[in-house]
Amino acid sequence: MNATRVSRSAGMRLGMVLTAMLLMVMCFRPASGSDVVITVKGTLNGGRDNYGIFGMGKNMPKGTPYTLVFTFDEAKGRPMPAACPNSGSRIVGIGQGSPGTAVITINGKSFEFGHKPDARSRAWRSIVTVCSESEIGMAVEEGHYSLATGVNIRINPNLGSRSLTQDRDWRSPVALSNFHARNDDNAFAIRRNYYGETMSYLSVDSVTVSGR
């Protein structure tokens, strides 16, 4: 798998999107101090572990189970209005105002994203309207874009299905297991230098949002 070139490009693209979203934010939401937990489960699509983080050697086999837990602190971050009115909601933030962290567990070993000073994160949900499509997504990233470490998840309805949910609040509880998760939109990467990385694309089996 030619994962190095593709994953670096995906990481840079994710970082640029996050930065652009943050620059567009125009208003704050009052802090509530509660956490929203989003749990993602699935299997690896095959990846590499050059840093030996997950204890399976340099190659992580396709089909290896993972659990990914995002935690978003509503006391941090800012809301961002959806481009299409009344079509969804989202939270974004950077640095000390970054609301999200993520922990991925593979082979009984865990790695946490989102605690560095330059961390950036977002969570979003959109519904079907005349000018929007149904989607749920989360992303946490840190580090300079050329050496970005991060994880991102995005799911959409299966072909022929109208919507994941018609509740547009990204915080609202929902449990999903029947959806489309494109390979390029679901991945994690850990980078410490230019000579190696730990990364994999992710097959997504379930997404559970535990609301406020």
Could you give the residue ranges of the DSSP H alpha helices within the chain?
3-23
Whether the CB-CB separation of 149 and 162 falls below 8 Å is answered with no
**pLDDT at position 34, please?**
86
**pLDDT at position 17, please?**
46
Whether the CB-CB separation of 15 and 156 falls below 8 Å is answered with no
How many CA atoms does the CB half-sphere of 82 hold within 13 Å? 23
Which residues of the chain form beta strands (DSSP E)?
35-49, 59-60, 65-73, 78-79, 88-94, 100-106, 109-113, 120-126, 135-142, 149-155, 174-176, 187-193, 196-210
Q: How far apart are the first and last CA of the chain?
A: 40
Q: What sign has the CA pseudo-torsion 38, 41, 42, 43?
A: positive
pTM passes above 0.75: yes
**pLDDT at position 10, please?**
47
**pLDDT at position 31, please?**
42
How many CA atoms does the CB half-sphere of 176 hold within 13 Å? 25
- Encode the chain (212 residues) as per-residue pLDDT tens digits: 444 444 444 444 444 444 444 444 333 344 445 899 999 999 999 999 999 999 999 999 999 999 999 999 999 988 888 888 889 999 999 999 999 999 999 999 999 999 999 999 999 999 999 889 999 999 999 998 889 999 999 999 998 888 999 999 999 999 999 999 998 899 999 999 999 999 999 999 999 999 66
Judged by phi (left if over 0) then psi (alpha if -120 to 50, else beta), residue 86 lies in: left
Whether the CB-CB separation of 118 and 129 falls below 8 Å is answered with no
